[in-house]
Amino acid sequence: MVLASSLLAGKVALITGGAAGIGRATARLFATHGAAVAIVDVSPERGPEVVRQIQAEGGRAVFLRCDVADAVQAEATVESAVAQLGGLHILFNNAGITCRRSVVETPVADWDRVVAVNLRGVFLMSKFAIPHLARAGGGTIVNTGSGWGLKGGKDAAVYCATKGAVVNLTRAMALDHAAQHIRVNCICPGDTDTALLAEEGRQLGVEAGAFLREAAARPMQRVGTPEEIAEAVLFLASDQSSFVTGTTLVVDGGGLAG
């Protein structure tokens, strides 16, 4: 593999939701910058494929199947990543799901599941990863928020609630762990060309082309790509942002600017 740089040389990164979309793009980007990558996902098919892609390019990667909302699985996954890759320096809490309904329309089971994955998952993976980051002398955590973690969105009550919580949880974690040399930041993507975006359109019953045109209605007149979001995650995860903690980086083509 030809390294893009040695920006993450010697680092081990754990990426949840790493089998598709932003997680997959970030895993592959991290590998090109020298990191060994633990790809964590619930998908037993897509995860190993990402590992094969990274290994074919000369990188180091393992796949760990995990439901991040399950405390036993989350702890075992962190321990397995450390054992297989020799440590842990970067955690990217990226796993997430959505439910496009109002509070009244949201089934209780759907509310609970979105909260479990989007918020409890960040808590659990961080809880079990932070001691390892501290033992390594410090590290970085990047949480995936959303533009809708900073403003409201129609028919997305539980998604907005969880992403708003992730944004503020990021700030609290940054304060709690700065003395351990652990930086914690949040990436807030706008609409990005992923399966999650397509799932939103399906839930709303909107034709795919029309939904994408609506999502592109922002100053840059397009949705983002997973690779563009991954570049921003790389900035927050690496020493390029060595004096940045507790912040939220919006990557949305200007959607929240006006």
Could you write out the DSSP letters of every residue in 139-159? EEEEEE--GGGTS--TT-HHH
What tens digit of pLDDT does each residue of 124-177 get? Answer: 999 999 999 999 999 999 999 999 999 999 999 999 999 999 999 999 999 999
Which range among 59-63, 212-216, 224-228, 240-244 shows the weakest confidence by mean pLDDT? 212-216
224 pLDDT band, cuts 50/70/90, is: confident
Three-class secondary structure of residue 258 per DSSP: coil
Residue 223's pLDDT is 84
Check pLDDT > 70 for residue 23: yes
Residue 256 included in any domain: no
55 pLDDT band, cuts 50/70/90, is: very high
Residue 112 included in any domain: yes
What tens digit of pLDDT does each residue of 81-120 get? Answer: 999 999 999 999 999 999 999 999 999 999 999 999 999 9
- Percent of the chain whose predicted confidence (pLDDT) is above 90: 83
Residue 202's pLDDT is 79
Phi-psi region of 187 (alpha: psi -120 to 50; beta: other; left: phi over 0): beta
Check pLDDT > 70 for residue 2: no
Residue 124 included in any domain: yes
Residue 5 included in any domain: no
- Give the residue numbers marked as catalytic: 159
Pick the residue with more confidence: 236 or 1?
A: 236
Residue 127 included in any domain: yes
Check pLDDT > 80 for residue 213: no
Total number of domains in the chain? 1
Residue 196's pLDDT is 74
DSSP class of residue 178 equals G
Which range among 3-12, 73-82, 182-191, 224-233 shows the weakest confidence by mean pLDDT? 3-12
Residue 1's pLDDT is 65
CA distance 203 to 19: 22
Per the structure, the complete domain to which residue 204 belongs is given by 12-250
Residue 152's pLDDT is 93
Q: What is the CATH number of the domain that holds 101?
A: 3.40.50.720
CA distance 204 to 202: 5
Computed over every residue of the chain, the mean pLDDT equals 94
Residue 6 included in any domain: no
CA distance 197 to 129: 29
Give the residue-averaged pLDDT of 22-45.
97
Pick the residue with more confidence: 216 or 56?
A: 56
Phi-psi region of 87 (alpha: psi -120 to 50; beta: other; left: phi over 0): left
Residue 257 included in any domain: no
